[in-house]
A and B are shown apart, each in its own frame.
Chain A
């Protein structure tokens, strides 16, 4: 009786094993079929989920039995298929993979009766124990290498490069390998070839190795580009481009090579790579952004602005769904570009702002005004998806965008529209602003507690004053300039520790900027006093501007000019001699918001230097007499 039972057990197990293998092959073929189908649909999504569920159930069935050597190739293959499909579906690797890998390795050791002596081992030790076991069956190697490649992908994507190095050294069989450079280790890795009768696998180790190699070259190249190791970055990126690089990644690689060459002072060669990137044809936004930088470096403003215009149009197009040619692609292993990275493309509104600001900076006021109005409409009317932030942390905040728009409109001669923008800004943010009567009451009572006020509110009044000045409305201009000055001198800037919104102000509005804002308001009001013939008040404003910012050329110019007009030559000469002893301010050191820079350009006298030379000569002549 007992002899009859023993022969039947192997027969039943063998039959089940064949059935399970057939199930695996069926699921693999089904998954590959779904991968080739590029039509996105709910049915396809559900089918992929069903396939993944099938792999999970099959894996649970196999792992429910005691570990047995004949079943290990199939079990490991199912594990790999399950991990691959899940990562592809989730578009990324998660920590669940670690448990699956550990479970698989423990099953291998269990089948070889080695688990008892090495309990509670880490993953590195597990890999070492499995791969270095003398009794390891050759037919397990393909699946094990595939599993190792998946684990390597996780470690690479989570930046555990030390563990990755150790794993690759184990895979290469070089336990005494001293080299820790990952690229040679990846290149020297030779996954074993799958046998013809082996169970089907979604993506074999050789294919995954290629993905790992390209992904690592890309990661390293991008990192070196950011850190400034440009020759190394160029080498890594060329390595990535020469590998099996999918089109979407190839665009990034070519663009990064263009960035690298631009920074190395080879803009023309950079343009060649960017042209190649555009030829790839998957997405042209990133190459266009980099092209605008190259043209800016070359001084070709028209081409720069054209690139930015195309960039805005490219970002407005709906992204078509990509064809899934392979389950594990290089993209899954690449990190999202940091907003500070040159490879970060941003949103359409950010591109629009870049275009508008460059138009304003390069003297194309009419175009800048139109772009800014489009941008405000895009942001305020909610044309952009709500999930995307209006501006990134590095860009200007919303009020400052309004100020830039107002500055562009004033520059374009559209003062009324600028006033509309400013009034809209102040009305939408009235709850943030201190009330002027209460502000004045505090000043009258000499209260020590001053209200907080955002700096952009003061700047709004400054720009309103400029707009009224353009419209020749002196009273309104003077009132706005005075209100700006009251806020600047009576209210404190917003506390920099409060909220994330303050980070923008903290970056944009340094002490130098605040000082320049005061100077701009004082000189602007002084010029308005001059316009209505009140030179005494103008003198007071010009003098205060020079006191606030010693060495300011513009304030000194207007002060001397007014003193000269009033025939107060002795005071002018005395001030001139005093001003000569002060060093002129370094223009390159200041990093001002665009609207403030534009405003300072308006009040800058064109004949400043000529006047100083003439006045200096006159002073010297009077000294000689």
Chain B
């Protein structure tokens, strides 16, 4: 097992190098050996894919020594050769002699030993996907942005599906990685889009079940992380948040709890006649009102939940009716149906 792990690590390093400028020193023989190495790992995948114990042991080792650009899972071995080929094909730094030898190595022709070893079909599929993603990234506007979010949401769900239900920590780590390294605002938007997928009609029952499972994973992770939840509820637009909250009761509850917590950080400035933040980073009154109003307008049950919550807070705060004494009273005055 250990040599196999070492081979995998070396190949990960090889993949990393294949994107850089070091390939300018490669010759045809080096390219041939790299591709042979990739095919060897492909054979390993096909041989042990159906054996759970070996797969699990290998994945544990891969995760322990995971690098930033390394292979993420055992399943990645299946497409290692195709990824290497694509990277070499796209890399302009590849030496001319090696570049001329590459097509012959990838497409040997009728004299090949085994037809199954030829990666043409898999290469075409991966190249097409990459082109599509590249095209989507270059587009602008709302509709294409929405399409981009939906695509990223689907990719996120696909990724979560790949990780399966056997190991729930894998999904958590994936999401943690996205949050830690990705553009956070974009990640939040993708997550919101993913959470809204449940509202879309699904043709198959199995798909619904699978979607629900991924949604629960994502929701669970979001609710568990205080930092991410606060950022999610603070930075996403009010209307979008209200839509997401309307689909998931647990999230609406958490969202409302956060809003009420933020409300307590405002204090009334008697001379200005307004509720002002205690610190600069606190949410201002106008945004607080806007978010609560959006919740009230999204769903009737959300409005009821908001009003019940605010009225309960008002009662605990002394049940004052005069403006300027209790922020709950003033929020209720600002909300439709709250007075």
On A, residues with C-beta under 8 Å from B are: 436-437, 439-440, 443-444, 446, 475, 478-479, 482-483, 485-486, 489-490, 540, 544
A479 touches B325 (CB 8 A): yes
B274 touches A489 (CB 8 A): no
B334 touches A486 (CB 8 A): no
Check if B270 is an interface residue, CB within 8 A of chain A: yes
Give the residues in chain B near A446, CB-CB below 8 Å.
Answer: 274
Check if B321 is an interface residue, CB within 8 A of chain A: yes
CA distance A446 to B275 in the complex (A): 12
Give the residues in chain B near A436, CB-CB below 8 Å.
Answer: 322-323
Most buried by B among A444, A483, A490: A444
A443 touches B273 (CB 8 A): yes
B323 touches A486 (CB 8 A): yes
CB-based nearest A residue for B286: A444
CA distance A482 to B267 in the complex (A): 14
CB-based nearest B residue for A490: B273
Check if B304 is an interface residue, CB within 8 A of chain A: no
A440 touches B333 (CB 8 A): yes
A478 touches B323 (CB 8 A): no
CB-based nearest B residue for A450: B273
Give the residues in chain B near A486, CB-CB below 8 Å.
Answer: 273, 322-324
A442 to chain B, nearest CB (A): 9
A444 touches B334 (CB 8 A): yes
A483 touches B322 (CB 8 A): yes
Check if B279 is an interface residue, CB within 8 A of chain A: no
B315 to chain A, nearest CB (A): 12
CA distance A440 to B320 in the complex (A): 15
Q: A437-B339, A443-B273, A478-B320 are in contact. List 19 more A-B contacts (CB 8 A).
A: A436-B323, A437-B333, A439-B323, A440-B333, A444-B274, A444-B333, A446-B274, A479-B320, A479-B321, A482-B320, A482-B322, A483-B322, A485-B324, A486-B273, A486-B322, A489-B271, A489-B273, A544-B270, A544-B271
Give the residues in chain B near A440, CB-CB below 8 Å.
Answer: 323, 330, 333
Give the residues in chain A near B318, CB-CB below 8 Å.
Answer: 475, 478
Check if B319 is an interface residue, CB within 8 A of chain A: yes
CA distance A482 to B330 in the complex (A): 13
On B, residues with C-beta under 8 Å from A are: 267, 270-271, 273-274, 318-325, 330, 333-334, 339
CA distance A562 to B333 in the complex (A): 33
CA distance A544 to B270 in the complex (A): 9
Give the residues in chain A near B273, CB-CB below 8 Å.
Answer: 443, 486, 489-490
Cross-interface CB contact of A475 among B267, B270, B319, cutoff 8 Å? B319
CB-based nearest B residue for A532: B318
Give the residues in chain B near A443, CB-CB below 8 Å.
Answer: 273-274, 323
CB-based nearest A residue for B274: A443
Determine the main DSSP class of A at the interface with B.
helix
B325 touches A478 (CB 8 A): yes
CB-based nearest A residue for B267: A540
CB-based nearest B residue for A443: B273
B333 touches A482 (CB 8 A): no
Most buried by A among B273, B274, B330, B333: B273
Give the residues in chain A near B270, CB-CB below 8 Å.
Answer: 485, 489, 544
A–B Cβ pairs within 8 angstroms, 24 of them: A436-B323, A437-B339, A439-B323, A440-B330, A440-B333, A443-B273, A443-B274, A443-B323, A444-B274, A444-B333, A444-B334, A446-B274, A478-B322, A479-B325, A482-B322, A482-B323, A482-B324, A482-B325, A485-B324, A486-B323, A489-B273, A540-B267, A544-B270, A544-B271
Give the residues in chain B near A437, CB-CB below 8 Å.
Answer: 333, 339
CA distance A436 to B329 in the complex (A): 13
Known: A437-B333, A440-B330. A479 touches B274 (CB 8 A): no
Give the residues in chain A near B324, CB-CB below 8 Å.
Answer: 482, 485-486
CA distance A444 to B334 in the complex (A): 9
Give the residues in chain A near B322, CB-CB below 8 Å.
Answer: 436, 478-479, 482-483, 486
CA distance A544 to B333 in the complex (A): 26
CB-based nearest B residue for A486: B324
CA distance A309 to B274 in the complex (A): 51
Give the residues in chain A near B323, CB-CB below 8 Å.
Answer: 436, 439-440, 443, 482, 486
B294 to chain A, nearest CB (A): 17
B310 to chain A, nearest CB (A): 16
CA distance A446 to B271 in the complex (A): 12
Give the residues in chain A near B271, CB-CB below 8 Å.
Answer: 489, 544
CA distance A53 to B339 in the complex (A): 77
Give the residues in chain A near B321, CB-CB below 8 Å.
Answer: 479
CA distance A446 to B284 in the complex (A): 14
CB-based nearest A residue for B334: A444
Give the residues in chain A near B339, CB-CB below 8 Å.
Answer: 437
Give the residues in chain B near A483, CB-CB below 8 Å.
Answer: 322
A197 to chain B, nearest CB (A): 90
A86 to chain B, nearest CB (A): 66
CB-based nearest B residue for A436: B323
B333 touches A475 (CB 8 A): no
Give the residues in chain A near B267, CB-CB below 8 Å.
Answer: 540
CA distance A195 to B45 in the complex (A): 157
CA distance A439 to B318 in the complex (A): 22
CA distance A475 to B329 in the complex (A): 14
CA distance A544 to B324 in the complex (A): 15
Give the residues in chain A near B320, CB-CB below 8 Å.
Answer: 475, 478-479, 482
CB-based nearest B residue for A522: B270
CA distance A502 to B273 in the complex (A): 26
CA distance A241 to B230 in the complex (A): 93
CA distance A437 to B323 in the complex (A): 9
CB-based nearest A residue for B321: A479
CA distance A621 to B105 in the complex (A): 93
CB-based nearest B residue for A474: B318
A276 to chain B, nearest CB (A): 60
CA distance A444 to B284 in the complex (A): 12
CA distance A475 to B273 in the complex (A): 21
CA distance A236 to B331 in the complex (A): 73
Give the residues in chain B near A490, CB-CB below 8 Å.
Answer: 273
CA distance A490 to B273 in the complex (A): 7
Most buried by A among B270, B324, B330: B270
CA distance A475 to B320 in the complex (A): 7
CA distance A446 to B319 in the complex (A): 25
CA distance A438 to B1 in the complex (A): 78
CA distance A540 to B270 in the complex (A): 10
A542 to chain B, nearest CB (A): 13
CA distance A482 to B271 in the complex (A): 12
CB-based nearest B residue for A475: B318
CA distance A444 to B285 in the complex (A): 9
Give the residues in chain A near B330, CB-CB below 8 Å.
Answer: 440, 444
